[in-house]
Structure 1
């Protein structure tokens, strides 16, 4: 309940602003899970690393160093293995909202840090290998997110720049194999490493 409340509060913060500037960011990301799960009678269950297209929209609150960024990643196809063998493919969306502090300075580098909330919205689970023919359901999950990175604006650039950042997402969606007693939380907790272009209006 606390996770959902935090996410709703952050959405309210970004929607309440009346004046400021917008920035669109287009990048490519590596989504690298940092955890795996040992399930009794099943073995080691692990979400594998994936590549994703990750556009985002950022809003700057006037002249302050505060901004809010909403990650709008394209649907991600995530492979899940059991004891090293691919068993489930999950298509999901990972919308993530962070409130950021931008360290403005006299250089063209602008470092930033952010905290916020994230979601794991799954659908269209497909089984194969050890689970071929079984029906697997993955529930939505919500968690906290952290972000650190920088934006660089070249000398000849008026509105555009390049950025690099890393995000951490706390996610452990519930997985259930129907018509069996198998049910567990899949610990993913991914790091998301992104590089891309930014354009500020």
Structure 2
């Protein structure tokens, strides 16, 4: 479903490419997971992803002053996963492609608040075990979910095209994780990450 949504969005951008404006955003983010998982196959052991820092550029297209579509082009993110009493046991590298449709509340001030809704994906690779689970095979699946966004852009008085922005995103992400050894898979669970992503950055509109 997310792939079809992204395709429709990109087609819309192509059709309207001469009608609006493009904006490039470059920001730094704190990725703060809100979920945790109790793994029944491991005796109810609690596991959770830890906070991470990320470089999160994005491209945004404005259909008019109020409506835009934004594609998040974040650099690969490393997520360490810790288990209660064991410390960090898994590291997952992943990409979080996200597309949101946004509404901007234009007003007489230089602050422009906005909200957005859309979809996100969790595409993992280079996952590996560490610490107490070192040597265990780790397989992490893809995950797709809802994405929400709220924030504002501020344009200084002497700025024609550039500004600074802050926003907070929520992403619904719960990839399936399988842990295996020489005897086969001994644990399988959905890792509830569900992060809040807080971003501060620079925007430039063409």
TM band (smaller chain): over 0.9
Aligned to 2:149: 147
Q: Which runs of 5+ in 2 are unaligned?
A: none
Task: Check 1:41–1:176 CA distance in 2 against 1; reply closer, same or farther (3 A cut).
Answer: closer
Aligned to 2:194: 189
Q: Secondary structure at 1:106's aligned position in 2?
A: coil
Counterpart pick for 1:170 among 172, 179, 190: 172
Q: Secondary structure at 2:107's aligned position in 1?
A: coil
Aligned to 1:23: 23
Q: Secondary structure at 1:105's aligned position in 2?
A: coil
Task: Check 1:15–1:138 CA distance in 2 against 1; reply closer, same or farther (3 A cut).
Answer: farther
Kindly report the root-mean-square deviation, in angstroms, between the aligned alpha carbons of the 2 structures: 1.5
Contact 2:41 2:188 in 1 (8 A): no
Task: Check 1:94–1:76 CA distance in 2 against 1; reply closer, same or farther (3 A cut).
Answer: same
Aligned to 1:53: 55
Contact 1:120 1:173 in 2 (8 A): yes
TM-score, normalized by length of structure 1? Answer: 0.94
Contact 1:10 1:117 in 2 (8 A): no
Q: Find the aligned partners of 2:41 and 2:27 in 1 and give their Cα distance.
A: 40
Tell me the number of residue pairs that the alignment of Structure 1 and Structure 2 aligns: 199
User: What is the CA distance between 1:129 and its match in structure 2?
Assistant: 1.3
Aligned to 2:36: 36
User: What is the CA distance between 1:5 and its match in structure 2?
Assistant: 4.7
Q: Find the aligned partners of 1:152 and 1:64 in 2 and give their Cα distance.
A: 15
TM-score, normalized by length of structure 2? Answer: 0.91
User: What is the CA distance between 1:41 and its match in structure 2?
Assistant: 4.2
User: What is the CA distance between 1:29 and its match in structure 2?
Assistant: 0.2
| Deviation string, structure 1 residues 125-161 (Cα, Å, up to 9, x no partner) | 1211121101100001111100000000000111100
| Deviation string, structure 1 residues 17-46 (Cα, Å, up to 9, x no partner) | 232100000000000000100002420010
Contact 1:11 1:97 in 2 (8 A): no
Q: Secondary structure at 1:181's aligned position in 2?
A: strand
Q: Secondary structure at 2:186's aligned position in 1?
A: coil
Pairing of 1:30-109 with structure 2 (within 5 A):
30-42=30-42, 43-61=45-63, 63-84=64-85, 85-109=87-111
Which runs of structure 1 show a deviation greater than 3 angstroms over 4 or more consecutive aligned residues? 2-16
Q: Find the aligned partners of 1:155 and 1:147 in 2 and give their Cα distance.
A: 26
